[in-house]
């Protein structure tokens, strides 16, 4: 069955049934006997669909978790109240004092901050490897336990060779976890490409309506049990209302991604031709590093475009001059957005994007007209 069709059927019970699973709000699940509760508790140890207690999720979250697990092609899926909580959950499940974690260059900024500000204080060390590394051997230490990957990387949208990175990590017994918020269960499949774990901020495209926060971790093989244990130990869950909103949003994931991709690509190509623009980053543009790898490994792109304006043009004034791209954190909702990226150090100036746009579902002619007016205003 095609994925588009599956999106319309996830969570449906035997007929007659509501098309969308309802919101089941519950803490206690009542049992008729001591033996029945014992049986439930034994079953839930390796079956995440067992209804046992609200902290383990109710049928609403179970339906969502199973849908995301299926889209990503994993053996287990665990839900969190935000994407950041999901990433912190993975780091916590696989790292102990004395361990070392590898992060890909230009990883999502909060992942880096969490390692620098929290893990370091727990005696867990971290180092960053260049995004175009294909063999991690030189970066792996005896105490390296986990490599955190992301494709494409957060701000510069450069695509690493995920299969090669995972293969070299596995050769040294290092677990690989890939932030797949860009692909969001649709355009990119880290588990198929060799990653043990895929992490998604469902706040973005899965929910898709800028009104829900959630995170998901999908894993395969031995990693499932470790994640299950740590998720439940820390009491992490997604509330039923949020799970409902996310699954409802996912019904139109395929349609929305088509429009985000078309708009994002049209904007990237248009900006690339403008004399006011020094550089554009977008995985489908041949000039963006890792473009060939993206073409090999992914089935499409989304609405994100990063850019750098020519010297002398004020990036902040450009963002402020936009009307259809309000300024705001996050992306993946139905609406277009713009954000000024923090000035990054290290890389050469022409490697540093200044602005990130998110192309929403608006008509492309309106978006381009807005960009054109703003460029003319500031140039
Ligand atoms: C937004 C984002 C996150 C964090 O998600 P929240 O739901 O906002 O906590 C993680 N990774 C990437 C790549 C993101 O863009």
pLDDT tens per residue, range 68-108 = 999 999 999 999 999 999 999 999 999 999 999 999 999 99
Ligand 1 centroid to Cα of residue 110, in Å, is 8
- Tell which one of 190, 203, 331, 358 to mutate to probe ligand 1, the residue whose CB is within 8 A of the most ligand atoms: 203
Q: Is the CB of 144 under 6 A from ligand 1?
A: no
Query: Order of strands across the sheet with 215-219?
Result: 76-80, 215-219, 197-201, 175-179, 144-150, 100-104, 125-129
Does residue 154 have its Cβ closer than 6 Å to ligand 1? yes
Q: How confident is the model at residue 345 (pLDDT cuts 50, 70, 90)?
A: low
Report whether residue 344 contacts ligand 1, using a CB cutoff of 6 Å: no
Q: Are 232 and 55 in contact (CB under 8 A)?
A: yes
- Rounded to an integer, the average pLDDT of 243-261 is 98
Any idea what DSSP says for residue 66?
H
Determine whether the shortest distance from the Cβ of 301 to ligand 1 is under 6 A.
no
Contact 186, 205 (CB under 8 A): yes
pTM over 0.95: yes
Pocket lining: 242 vs ligand 1, CB cutoff 6 Å? no
Whether pLDDT at 190 is above 80: yes
84 lines ligand 1 (CB under 6 A): yes
Question: Which of 13-17, 40-44, 72-76, 336-340 bottoms out in mean pLDDT, i.e. has the lowest?
Answer: 13-17
């Amino acid at each position: 069955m095609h994925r588009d069709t599956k999106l319309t059927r996830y969570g449906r019970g035997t007929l007659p049934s509501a098309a969308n699973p309802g919101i089941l709000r519950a803490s206690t699940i009542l049992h008729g006997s001591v033996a029945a509760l014992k049986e439930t508790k034994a079953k839930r140890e390796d079956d995440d669909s067992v209804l046992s207690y609200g902290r383990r999720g109710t049928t609403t979250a179970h339906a969502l978790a199973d849908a995301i697990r299926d889209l990503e092609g994993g053996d287990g899926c665990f839900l969190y109240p935000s994407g950041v909580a999901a990433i912190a959950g993975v780091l916590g499940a696989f790292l102990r004092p004395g361990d070392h974690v590898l992060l890909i260059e230009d990883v999502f900024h909060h992942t880096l901050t969490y390692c620098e500000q929290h893990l370091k204080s727990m005696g867990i060390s971290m180092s960053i490897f260049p995004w175009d590394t294909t063999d991690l051997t030189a970066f792996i230490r005896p105490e390296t336990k986990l490599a955190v990957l992301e494709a494409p990387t957060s701000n510069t949208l450069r695509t690493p060779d995920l299969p090669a990175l995972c293969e070299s990590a596995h050769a040294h017994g290092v677990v690989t976890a890939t932030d797949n918020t860009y692909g969001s269960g649709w355009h990119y499949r880290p588990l198929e490409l060799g990653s043990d774990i895929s992490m998604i901020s469902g706040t973005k495209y899965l929910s898709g309506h800028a009104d829900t926060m959630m995170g998901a971790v999908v894993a395969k093989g031995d990693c499932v049990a470790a994640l299950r244990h740590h998720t439940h130990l820390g009491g992490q869950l997604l509330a039923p209302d949020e799970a409902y909103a996310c699954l409802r949003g996912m019904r139109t994931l395929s349609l929305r991604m088509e429009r985000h991709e078309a708009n994002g690509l049209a904007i990237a190509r248009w900006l690339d031709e403008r004399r006011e623009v020094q550089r554009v980053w977008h995985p489908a543009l041949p000039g963006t590093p890792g473009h060939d790898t993206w073409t090999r490994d992914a089935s499409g792109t989304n609405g994100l475009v990063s850019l750098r304006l020519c010297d002398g043009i004020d990036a902040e004034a450009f963002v402020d001059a936009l009307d259809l791209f309000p300024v705001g954190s996050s992306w993946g909702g139905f609406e277009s957005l713009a954000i000024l990226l923090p000035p990054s150090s290290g890389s050469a100036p022409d490697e540093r994007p200044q602005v990130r746009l998110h192309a929403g579902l608006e008509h492309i002619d309106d978006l381009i007209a807005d960009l054109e007016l703003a460029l003319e205003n500031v140039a």
